[in-house]
Structure formats: structure tokens, C-alpha cells
Structure 1
Amino acid sequence: MIPRKKRIDAFVNLGNYLKDPIHSIELEGIAAQARNINSWFIPENVRLAVQKISEQLLAGSALLSFLDTYEEVSESKKIGVVMAGNIPAVGFHDALCVLLSGHHLLAKVSSDDAPLMMYLLETLLRIEPEFVNYLSVVQKINVADAYIATGSDNSSRYFDYYFSAKPHIIRKNRTSVAILTGDESGEELEALGDDILHYFGLGCRNVSKVYVPENYNFSPFFDAQASKMEKYQYHHKYFNNYEYNKSILLVNRVPHLDNGFLIVNENQALVSPLSVLYFETYSSDEQLSEELGSHSEKIQCIVGPSKSTLATVPFGKAQSPGIADYADGVDTMAFLRSF
């Protein structure tokens, strides 16, 4: 097994490599490949994902304090990881956990995210060649000792059946919500727009619904999003979704608000279509807490004011999870040392 310090140093060096401007042209080439394969992965979003990885997951002090809370595993096992491909490098955190824990990663990389994930893994191997014995990119992972799989509610049923005989973590669809009080500044509302729209709303940490006080005025919210108009109006896939969803609401005479690229619609459902933000009103903190509690298994994070009695993420930080912000709240590192 590679010594723990050597593992940590490799990832710290990877973070430094990704932050170094000298490698920006290299990354732009990868971003172009990613966009050619998946038009949702525009270069701006690829750069954003890499920035968040280097800043939030690969800082030396964060990695050290993170690993200090877990005992070293006594034996290296083969861990199969089925990676999602909804947003750039979404499978990196699982890869990081498996390799930091001392296990052997069997990575089934999503075809939608192959250029960026392969770039990250291959760069890690160049930095620390010893990982070659602990990192395999595979098409099938039927020989693993344990599994981590991320997918939709439908694919999770397949994963549950296929991986039932081995230890596993199966992740299903999740979404995120926000709480507004009416006292937010323009900067906070603009930042909330990033929580909604970054990665075109395709991630589980994207806000798909806001809870607002009764008679809430959405005009300041829309004013704060004005600078984003060009980006979203000129992305053909996103704007096609916007025009389609708008036409459905108009044909069915459903009341809604619209700023030319984002639709706001009152709806009790949690998950909104792409380009649509649902809202629901609340009359008290107690009612809101009860409502969110009833959906806890479907909510990834809650964006809102720090004074909230609920555990909230600051506006603009939904897409900046820390290394210990596990998907679905399941401690991946604890799982990896449990067998």
C-alpha cells in the first residue's frame, strides 16, 4: 500500500498542478474535447469544476485534517465506482476517497465526462506513478469487493439488484432548495442565481426550488440575474428547454414569471424542469422546517441565510462543497474502512 503521506502529497500536488496558469492551455484543450462530446460541458463550466476541485478538495491542510479523522485500512480492496456524467468531474470525489483510503479504484467513467475525468486521473498518475497499481479505468466492474454507484432513481434499482451481494453505496436523484426571507441583498440574489444556473442546473446541488414568504416580490431576484442573460439565451440546448417549457405553461394557461431565460412557477414539486425554478410560500419557520424535513431524503443541500434555524449553505456556495460534504450525507470514507 502506498504510504498515507505519499497519497496525500500526490493529491496536493495535483491541486497545485491544476491551479498553475502554465497548464491553462492544456486544460483548454481538454475543455474543447469535453464540449465536443457533451455540449452541456462548455469550457467555462469545465474550468469552474476544476477550480472547485483544486480549491475545495485538494488543499493540503484540508486533506490532512480530513484524513486525520479516519483510521488507516488494514488491507487494500478493489472498489468499483460507477461515475455519473451530469456535470464536469462529478465522479472525482469518489475517486479521491477510494485512493486516499488506500484501496484500489476500479473507475467506470461516464462517456459524457470522459475527457475531463481521464485528464484528472492521468495527471495524477504522472504525478505519482505508484498509483498505477491502485487505479484502473474499466468498462465493467463485476470483480470488485465493494461498489459506489451514482445514477438516477431508475438506474439505482438496477444497481441495488446487481450489487446486492457486496457492500455498496447507491446514490439516487437529489436536488437542492433555497430559502428566501425578502431581506436578501442584490449580491445575495445574484449569487443565488449561480446556485440555480451553474452547470445549467444539471447537478444535485443546483437549486430547483425556492421557499419564499407569502406575497414575495420576485422583481429584485430577476433584476439580479440580468447579467446572466446572454450566456443562457445563446446556449442552444438550454434555450430550447426554456422555449419548450414556456410554451407548455402558456398553452395550459399556467401563471408564471419569466425574464427571457428563466421561468419561475409556483409548484409543490421539488424538482423543476431545466430553465424553470419552482417556488412555494411559507408562513412560519416551523412550517418550513416541517416541509423540508418531509423531503430530507431528496434534498442535497439548503441554500439560505446564516440566521436560519436550519443547516444552510451561504448564497453562491452550493457548488463549492468541501471534502467532507458527502453526497446524500453518506460518509464515503467510513464506508471504505468498514470492511
Structure 2
Amino acid sequence: MTLETKKSVFVELGKFLNQFSENQTLKNPAVLHNETFFDAFIDLIQLSQSHNGWYTPEQVYFSIQSWAEALTEENLSQWLSAYDLQKNKVKNVALILAGNIPLVGFHDFLSVLITGNNVLVKTSSNDQHLLPFLAKYIIAVEPQLANKIKFIEGKLENFDAVIATGSNNTARYFEFYFKDKPSIIRKSRNSVAILNGSETKEQLWALGEDIFRYFGLGCRNVSKLFVPKDYSFVAFFEAIFEYQDVIHYEKYANNYDYNKAVFLMSNFKLLDNGFLTLKEDPSHASPISSVFYEYYNNIEELEARIELESEQIQCVVSNDLVKNSIAFGQTQKPELWNYADNIDTISFLITT
């Protein structure tokens, strides 16, 4: 199967996904295999919350639209132009996927197949339906892929390399279990934002997207704010007020009540707007419904610290205050070439 054929398969998938959005789902008669998959996908989206309580239709639609925007001929060509895929020797690559946000493992799945390898997928118990559905769609588009995709329920066997994602605890198990195999082992990471007080209301509102999208469950969600001494959070709280409806979602509200109670019983000083608590804390990983903050003295010292702690940080959001930072509101819209943990998955796959 040529690279152009493989790219065309995922372009067709992008066209299929582009039909589905929270505001309007509109059937495009030009999309392949709609007669088989269109209505079934609508049903799956609506059922996703029964499979995983965090997978509300709003969040699933967002993930779908993000991938629809990514899977274009232009994006795929730009992404893959940096590599010599002819170097790849076909291998069986095992994927152990997380399930914290919808389709979180799709980039790895895409990377394995687009490089010509075979994929053995072990889905998370929290996300067992969306990726297998999309796999069925691309097999319908290109039946040759049926021999290159396998979903595993039991023990992983007969694989040459592995990409596994989990917590820091499971990562230690993965590192031991897969010590004799080429591997990418992803651990827990969090994202941070750096503010200096000059941010516009629009930028702070966009920061709310980085905090609340997927209820804060993703490694690209901002869970920590760095602010200058004497920073006032008034403008921040005013800008994110539009996200207040998040508290009406029961699972989020339960976390908000529980974590706030734990903080207060421990006599921690909190800033609270009724749906988000801010707590001064040196850690990067805050619980759901809470964001930690920390004061900094100067940007140069903070940038050096972030570099030192880079293995704990997925994204840095700022108004160009430090190098390689991401604009406000963009953390959950990575390009195909923005790799998790800054590990080039394609290079790993073609050189292993």
C-alpha cells in the first residue's frame, strides 16, 4: 500500500468526521460509506457518556471536530514530508492506550498505520468504542487495512515495539515489563500557564478553554498558573465566568465539592468563584475543579525552572513570555507534528 493511498484513507476519515458537530450534524452525500456508518456514529456519540461519564456529547464532538480539522491532505503531507518512510521495516507495534479524554490514543494509531506498520491495540476500559468504530470505517474505505489492525482484549503477544501511556505508577510497570522491547513509555504530565498581568480579557477567556476543556482531565489541560507578585485574580475570574455551566455537570460538581472540602479542612487558603478553586501550591498536578498557582520573581528564573522540570510539563501557555509557549486557548488543538512529551513518534517507528 503506497503512502498516497494511506493518506487518502485518513483524508476520507477526516471528511466523515467533519459531518458531526455539536451545533450541526449534516450528512454529506459525497462522503464514502455513510449508508453504513453515519447513523451508527450518531448513536455512538450519544451513548459515549453511558460508557464513560466524562465523555459528554459536547466533549466527544470537540474531539471529533479537532480530528476532522487535522486529517486533511495538506496537513498530512506537511507532517510526513519531514520523514523518509521508505526506511521503515514493517513491524507489529503494540499500543496501550489511556482513556482520560475521547480518542486520546488516535495519534499513535494514525502514526503506526501511516508508517506502514501493523497495530495491536489495547484500549483503555474507559474508551473502548470510539477508536474501534473509526477503525471499522477506514477498513471499509481500504479493506487491505483489515490485516494491519487488531484490537487485543487479553495478553499482548507477538509485537516488536510498544507505545504505552499511563500514570507514573503504571509507567514503572511498563518500563519493567517491556524492558526488552523498543518502547515509548508516557507518564503523567500537566500543562502550565504564565501570566504577567497584561493579558486581555479575550486571552484570559481563552485560558478558560485550556482549563475546562475535557473537564481538565487531559495532560494538555492547564492545571497550574505562574503569576507575578501581587497579581490580582479579579480579571481572570471575570473572564472565565462564562464557563460557569461546568458546575451543573454532576461528576464535575462532586469533584468540586469534595476537593474544596478537603482543602478547607486542611486550612488551606483558597480563591473560589463557585465552580473553580485556586490554591497556592508548588505542584503542577491539581485535582479536577482546582488550579494551583505560584508566584514568580522574574521570567528568566521561571523559564529556567520550567526547563529543569520539563519532564513533568506537557505544554506551556503564555503571551510569548517564554520560548516555545502556546497561545491561549490552543492546548487542545495540537497539530499532527506536535508530539506528546516531545517524543517524535514517527522517527521512533521508522528507526526501530
Amino acid at match of 2:280: E
Contact 1:33 1:115 in 2 (8 A): no
1:132 matched to 2:146? The reply is yes
Mapping of residues 86-125 of structure 1, within 5 Å: 86-125=100-139
Cα offset for 1:43?
0.5
Contact 2:164 2:185 in 1 (8 A): yes
Mapped to 1, the partners of 2:349 and 2:222 lie a distance apart of 30
Contact 1:212 1:280 in 2 (8 A): yes
Give the match for residue 5 of structure 1. 4
Fraction of identical pairs, as percent: 40
Equivalent of 1:176 in 168, 183, 191? 191
Equivalent of 1:160 in 145, 156, 175? 175
Cα offset for 1:133?
1.2
Say if 1:234 and 1:171 are closer, same or farther in 2 by CA, change over 3 A.
Answer: same
Secondary structure at 2:5 match in 1: helix
Secondary structure at 1:84 match in 2: coil
Point out the more displaced range, 110-119 or 255-264: 110-119
Mapped to 2, the partners of 1:18 and 1:222 lie a distance apart of 35
Cα offset for 1:74?
4.4
Point out the more displaced range, 232-241 or 70-79: 70-79
Equivalent of 1:60 in 51, 67, 73? 73
Mapping of residues 273-288 of structure 1, within 5 Å: 273-288=287-302
* C-alpha distance after superposition, 1:273-319 (max 9, x if no partner): 1111000111211111122122100100101103x232111000000
Mapped to 1, the partners of 2:39 and 2:345 lie a distance apart of 34
Mapped to 2, the partners of 1:181 and 1:28 lie a distance apart of 43
Cα offset for 1:86?
0.6
Point out the more displaced range, 296-305 or 70-79: 70-79
* C-alpha distance after superposition, 1:133-158 (max 9, x if no partner): 11111123221011000001111111
Contact 1:34 1:114 in 2 (8 A): no
Secondary structure at 1:29 match in 2: helix
Amino acid at match of 1:276: S
Amino acid at match of 2:217: L
* C-alpha distance after superposition, 1:200-259 (max 9, x if no partner): 1110000000101111111111111212112x1111111111011111222222111111
Q: How many residues align?
A: 335
Contact 2:88 2:349 in 1 (8 A): no
Mapping of residues 233-312 of structure 1, within 5 Å: 233-306=247-320, 308-312=321-325
Say if 1:81 and 1:162 are closer, same or farther in 2 by CA, change over 3 A.
Answer: same
Secondary structure at 2:333 match in 1: coil
What TM-score do you get using the length of structure 2 for normalisation? 0.92
Question: How well do the aligned residues superpose, as a CA RMSD in angstroms?
Answer: 1.3
Say if 1:27 and 1:286 are closer, same or farther in 2 by CA, change over 3 A.
Answer: same
